[in-house]
Amino acid sequence: MAKTPSRSRTSQADRRERTRRSLLDAGRRLIADKGVAGLRISEITTEADVALGSFYNYFDTKEDLVDAVVGDTLANVATALSTKETEDQDSAEVVATAIQRFVAIAYEDPDFAQLLVHLNHSEEVMLGSVSPPATAAVVDGLESGRFKLEPEAVDIVVTTILGGALSLMRAIVMGRVGPGAELVYAEHALRMLGLAPARARQVVQRIA
User: Under the rule (CB under 8 A), what is the footprint of a second copy?
Assistant: 123, 127, 148, 150, 152-153, 155-157, 159-168, 170-171, 176-177, 181, 184-185, 187-189, 191-192, 194, 196-197
Q: Least distance in Å: CB of 161 to a second copy?
A: 7
Burial (CB count within 10 angstroms: exposed 0-12, middle 13-18, buried 19+), residue 156: exposed
Nearer to a second copy, 59 or 185 (CB): 185
Nearer to a second copy, 31 or 162 (CB): 162
Q: Least distance in Å: CB of 181 to a second copy?
A: 5
Nearer to a second copy, 26 or 177 (CB): 177
Angle (CA) 105-171-148 rounded to 5° is 75
Nearer to a second copy, 13 or 196 (CB): 196
CA pair distance 51, 5, nearest whole angstrom: 26
Residues 6+ apart with CB under 8 A from 58: 16, 19, 20, 23, 65
- Closest CA relative to residue 145, chosen from 97, 202, 194, 80: 194
CA pair distance 173, 176, nearest whole angstrom: 8
Q: Least distance in Å: CB of 34 to a second copy?
A: 24
CA pair distance 163, 124, nearest whole angstrom: 10
Q: Least distance in Å: CB of 159 to a second copy?
A: 5
Q: Least distance in Å: CB of 184 to a second copy?
A: 5
Nearer to a second copy, 29 or 188 (CB): 188
